[in-house]
Structure 1
Amino acid sequence: MRDLRGSGRLRRTLIGVLLGTALLTGCAEKQEANDTLPSTSASPTTEALPELGPADFPVPDEARTKDAAGAEAFLRYWIDLINRQRTVPAGQPLRDLGPDCNDCWRIANNYDEALAAGRRYDGGKLTLNDVTEPQFTGDEASINFGVRQEAVVMVDAAGTPVDSGLPTQPNLSSGVTLVWSEADISWLVVSMTLG
């Protein structure tokens, strides 16, 4: 009787050597380039968005998408813009981004009148407390939110208060309606209520 166990080991060893040789030979052989590889030429880039907002504080790209994330990002930018323009004070950027918004124009006019009178606002920073999911109707997005407004007082050039001001408001129930502008590739404010 013959012992076949030894020949099985030999066979597995030979198969392993042959497979290893085939794999190594395949790596060493010259291969032709694939005709279906992508072109090395530069791919077309997305056209840059038109400038919108103050040159040193433009509307960010993430606020310029026609979806819920873009609408919320625009609201966050808008609140930051109101805070920024109050410290300048200057209202034109608020008019530019809220061309049909009465309250936006009212705030913008207040800022311009303060500047013309040599006055400024001390305090008044707005901070979003919570933001609901935007609700869409066609090209409009409505967002309800709570906002904290720090105490604010109007002061003259010397820093002397010229009015009694307003105390801190911890959570003003607020809302904004935005409309998508194809021309600007951005949201614009149609209406806004703070408190």
Structure 2
Amino acid sequence: MLGTTLLAGCSEDAAAPSESLPSATSSAPTTEALPVVGPADFPVPPEARTQDTAGAEAFLRYWIDLLDRQRAIPAGQPLRDLGPDCGECLRIATNYDQAAAAGNKYVGGELTLNDVTTPRLDGDAAAFGFGIRQEAVQLVDSAGTPLDEGQPAAPNVFGGIDLLWSAAQHSWVVTSFGIG
């Protein structure tokens, strides 16, 4: 009965649609209006650029993907750009840059979020924890020769992240990050 009632408005006898549409008004910035944040070929996505719990969680998911991406290159600048006051972010970025300067690379180490707590919002700040799987990782030289003992896979390590909303960038930035 409900289906019939809903479809009844689609009969040929229905009045013609209005020739004009109401103007769209929205306080949310459009994707075109947002400045590019992150690498030009891997920018922070629009869903991670809202100042709410959904945006904070989307930013965390982007951040984990960015860590994986930058480890594979390796290059640290995007981590510095999105975590300029985050000590661990700067340490990871430096490791990536040093590996690249020496012609080395990381093999493995992919990160996969297992679970994420609901972000706690307090004004312009968001904080939350997560469980993450880290695949085994090892630093190798250009010939593929291991340069360290590496780290074994860790199936579920606790992590945490603190974010701060940047009104200028219309994006979250990392203020604290840690795994393990």
TM-score tier, shorter chain, comes to 0.7 to 0.9
Per the normalisation by structure 1, the TM-score is 0.78
Paired letter, 1:85: Q
Selected match of 1:102 from 66, 75, 87: 87
Instruction: Figure out how many residues of one structure are paired with residues of the other and give that number.
Output: 163
Per the normalisation by structure 2, the TM-score is 0.84
Gaps of 5+ in 1: 1-23, 28-33
Secondary structure in structure 1 of the residue aligned to 2:118: coil
Deviation for aligned residue 1:38 = 3.9
Secondary structure in structure 1 of the residue aligned to 2:33: coil
Which structure has more RCO (C-alpha within 8 Å, separation ≥ 6)?
A: 2
1:179 aligned partner: 164
Map 1:18-33 → 2, pairs under 5 A: none
Residue by residue over 1:27-77, the C-alpha shift from the partner in whole angstroms, topping out at 9 and shown as x without a partner, is: 9xxxxxx8xx6469x857845210011011000000000000000000000
> Does residue 70 of structure 1 match 2:55?
yes
Secondary structure in structure 1 of the residue aligned to 2:100: helix
Deviation for aligned residue 1:126 = 0.6
Secondary structure in structure 2 of the residue aligned to 1:118: coil
CA contact (8 A) 2:48 2:62 kept: yes
The sequence identity of aligned pairs, in percent, is 62
CA contact (8 A) 2:132 2:157 kept: yes
Alpha-carbon distance between aligned partners in 2 of 1:61 and 1:82, rounded to the nearest angstrom: 19
CA contact (8 A) 2:52 2:121 kept: no
1:3 aligned partner: none
> Does residue 161 of structure 1 match 2:130?
no
Which structure 1 residue ranges, 4+ long, deviate > 4 Å from structure 2? 42-45
Selected match of 2:40 from 28, 36, 55: 55
2:127 aligned partner: 142
1:87 aligned partner: 72
Gaps of 5+ in 2: 1-12
Paired letter, 1:55: A
2:8 aligned partner: none
C-alpha RMSD over aligned residues:
2.3
Alpha-carbon distance between aligned partners in 2 of 1:56 and 1:136, rounded to the nearest angstrom: 29
2:104 aligned partner: 119
